[in-house]
Amino acid sequence: MKSFVGDFYKLLNLLKVGEPFAFNRFSDGELFILQDKELILNAQQVKIGAKVTDGIYKDEDHKRFHPEEHSFYRDRLVDAFRFSKQNYFNGLSCRCCVGEENFQWQLDFHGAYDENFTWANLLVNGNYPRFIREMYPVFNNYRTVFVCNEKADLSVLPFIVKDFRVGYNAMINDYGLIETMKSWIDENDIAGHLFLFSASSFSKMAIHQLYKHSDKNTYMDVGTTLNPFMNMRLDRTYLKSFWLGAKGADLNKICIW
C-alpha cells in the first residue's frame, strides 16, 4: 500500500544521503493539457475545454494552451509523463483531488504501472509542515539552482548559487531555456547540485530532459511551496493555513492513492 507520508520520507532520505533523483509533478493543469483540452488561465477567464468561468489568476500564473497551435509542447509534456528511469519519481494527480475517472485516465494514458509513481501533492497538504521543518533545511547542504518566475526575490535563500528565470506561459515562451541549462551543466561540469523548479508546466519538461541529460544532479518540482521566501503570493489554501493561520482543511489532508 502506497503511503503519502512514506513517499515523502523516501525523497527526504535520498536528499540526506546525496543520491540523485528527479521528482516531477503533473497537477490538474498538466492533466488537462495531456488530455489535449484547450486551457486558458488568466485574470479574465478560466477555460478548460468547453467550460468557461471567471478569471482568478495573477500575471505570473497566466497560461494558454491550444491543442492545434501548441501540439509540439504537449508532446514534450507527454514525453515527460511517460518517461521511466531509476529514481525518476512521477507525481500524479490523486483520485481524492481530481476524481476517480481522471486518476484512472492517467494510469491508462501512461500505459504501464511505474513503481516510482507518487503524488503530485507530495510536498503540500498534510506533508507541507514536514516539508518546511524537515526537508527545507536539507537544501542548505546543496549547491542549489533555482528555476523560477522572473518576479521572484531569492535574496533570503542562502543556498542558491545560480538561478534561471521564466515569464508568462513559460512552457511555450521559454522552452528554449532547457537547452541553455543543458549547456550550462556541460560547460561547468555540474554534478551533485540540487535544481529546484517553481515554473509551472515548464518545470515538467525541463526536469525530464535535464535528468535524462545529466542524472548526477537532483531535480525537484517544488511548485509554490517556497513562495513565502520569494516575496510571492500566498494564495494557496495550504500556504494561508500554515503561514497565516487561516482556516482550512488542507494541512490535515493526507491524499490517497
Q: Please, what are the averages of pLDDT over each run of 10 residues along the chain (257 residues)?
A: 95 98 95 91 61 57 84 98 97 94 96 92 97 98 97 96 95 97 98 97 98 98 97 92 91 92
210 occurs within a structural domain = yes
Q: Kindly list the distances between the CA atom of residue 120 and the CA atoms of 70, 198, 245, in Å, as whole numbers in the listed order.
A: 24, 13, 24
Residue 73 lies in a domain: no
**Inside any domain, residue 234:** yes
Residue 61: inside a domain: no
In a domain, 44, yes or no: no
169: in domain: yes
Tell me the three cell numbers of residue 239.
Answer: 500556504
Domain limits for position 215? 4-34+85-252
In sequence order, the 6+-apart residues with CB closer than 8 A to the CB of 35 are 105
Query: Residue 16: what pLDDT?
Result: 98
Q: Is residue 176 part of a domain?
A: yes
pTM, 2 dp: 0.94
In this prediction, residue 1 carries a pLDDT of 80
What pLDDT, on a 0 to 100 scale, did the predictor assign at position 50? 58
- Alpha carbons 17 and 221: distance in angstroms, whole number: 19
Whole-number pLDDT of residue 64: 84
Whether 217 is in a domain gets the answer yes
How far is the C-alpha of 10 from the C-alpha of 121, rounded, in Å?
Answer: 15
Q: How many domains does the chain have?
A: 1
The separation between CA 187 and the C-alpha centre of its own chain, rounded to angstroms, equals 26
Burial classification of residue 223, based on how many CB atoms lie within 10 Å of its CB (0-12 exposed, 13-18 middle, 19 or more buried): buried
Q: Which three cell numbers stand for residue 252?
A: 490535515
Closest CA to 63 of 203, 206, 227: 203
Q: Which amino acid is at 99?
A: G
